Amino acid sequence: MHDGHSRPLCSFSPSPMGAPVSTTSRGHRPARLVAAVTAASALLLTAGCGSSGTTSGSPKTGASAAKGFPVTIDNCGVKTTYTKPPSRALTIHQHPAELMLSLGLKDRMVGTSYPDSAVLPGLRKDFTSLPQLSKEAPSFEKVLDTDPDFVYGGYASAFAEKEGRSRKAFADAGIDTYLNRENCAGKKGVTMEDTYAEIRTVGEIFGVSDRASALVSRLRRRVDEASEAVRDAHDVSVFVYDSGDKSAFTAGGKGLGNELIKLAGGKNVFSDLDDVFGDVSWEQVVDRKPDVIAIYDYAGTSVAQKKKFLLSQAALADVPAIRNKRFVVLPLTDTLVGVRSADAVGGLARGLHPESFK
């Protein structure tokens, strides 16, 4: 898989439980001042007492809360209390940006970064009107230059400590952070309910819970309609091909991709793999005889190259999906916790059961 993301989807590395609690009750502060205050604070902490620097999750005394606030969110072990909605949000990775834009929050965004696929047509105009900081994750300093009060990361790598972008570093600079919940799901796995919960949580943080509820209702309706269309169809066995040549890197039973296949009237042949992703042998693929191969599409190796590779493998010649050349394409972004996953169910259902949509 493209690994500018450092294989984030299967890392599931939540922030440490000891990460600092952040409290949003400050006024708007220039980035240079934030950096200066951060440096001064670091010196004081070094010279002073041995406190960890963790602060209370309650609003600061005297802070006036906006209507509907304060709101306290526990996200991947980081508890944050917001006394007002963020007004200068920055997104790292594309799916958080698309979610925010779908909630009508363009006016609260100061920039995006790390686009990894074509933007949804209905959001393209808003997306391209926003400054793009970088094609990959921006440096901590570059983020500070935009003077954000909130950073929303799509993958755990958005807050990579080794690259200086830890959530603690942002908290120390007076900037709140939020990490897509998929990255802290752990072994319980990810379902469409996580997508709906993610939308509602972001809506709550930004004070647009009504918009979030309306969006969830629309997405849930699309999923229900697609699932109903294939309800009486027999399950089609599906092998997800992400990448790999000596072995196959595939979707296991704990990721959202597994749920999308199930909702679309399919059965992931490696649903028993107890992880989001994992390597399996080609012999296992042959043994499980998938009817359809779902190719994950993302930057790097093209779908055409992946098909050519699979069709050229003599060992796979008798696999039904290869013999009948049955492929469906699933953009990787569609399998993430975000606004695309609902429509992905419909697209996948049509690919697996075209007869149900005539």
- pLDDT tens sequence across 54-74: 333 334 434 567 888 999 999
Tokens matching residue 265: 């009237």
In percent, how much of the chain has pLDDT > 70? Answer: 82
- pLDDT tens sequence across 92-128: 999 999 999 999 999 999 999 999 888 999 999 999 9
pLDDT for residue 198: 98
pLDDT surpasses 70 at 33 = no
Q: Which residue has the tokens 């992931």?
A: 268
Mean of the pLDDT values across residues 312-341? 96
Rounded to whole angstroms, what are the CA distances from 315 to 136, 241, 250, 319?
37, 16, 18, 9
Q: Is 163 in a helix, a strand, or coil? A: helix
**Cα–Cα dist 184/164, whole Å:** 20
**Cα–Cα dist 338/223, whole Å:** 14
pLDDT for residue 116: 84
pLDDT for residue 64: 63
pLDDT for residue 300: 85
Mean of the pLDDT values across residues 16-38? 39
pLDDT for residue 187: 77
Mean of the pLDDT values across residues 320-346? 96
Burial class (CB in 10 A: 0-12, 13-18, 19+), 292: buried
Q: Which residue has the tokens 């696929």?
A: 117
Phi, psi of 173 (to 5 degrees): -90, 5
Tokens matching residue 114: 């790390």
pLDDT surpasses 60 at 137 = yes
353: which residues sit within 8 A by CB, 6+ positions away? 229, 230, 233, 236, 264, 265
* 173/299: higher pLDDT: 173
CB-based contact 159:170 (threshold 8 Å): yes
**Cα–Cα dist 216/212, whole Å:** 6
Span(s) in the chain for CATH 3.40.50.1980:
8-184, 218-353
pLDDT for residue 318: 96
Assign domain 8-184 to a CATH class: alpha beta
Q: Is 61 in a helix, a strand, or coil? A: coil
In percent, how much of the chain has pLDDT > 90? Answer: 77
Rounded to whole angstroms, what are the CA distances from 127 to 112, 118, 132?
8, 11, 9
Cα distance from N-terminal residue to C-terminal residue, the chain: 34
pLDDT for residue 66: 82
Mean of the pLDDT values across residues 152-167? 97
Homologous superfamily (CATH) of 218-353 is: Nitrogenase molybdenum iron protein domain (3.40.50.1980)
Q: What angle do CA 118, 297, 15 make, to 5 degrees?
A: 85
pLDDT for residue 14: 35
Mean of the pLDDT values across residues 269-287? 96
**Cα–Cα dist 181/235, whole Å:** 29
- pLDDT tens sequence across 215-245: 999 999 999 999 999 999 999 999 999 999 9
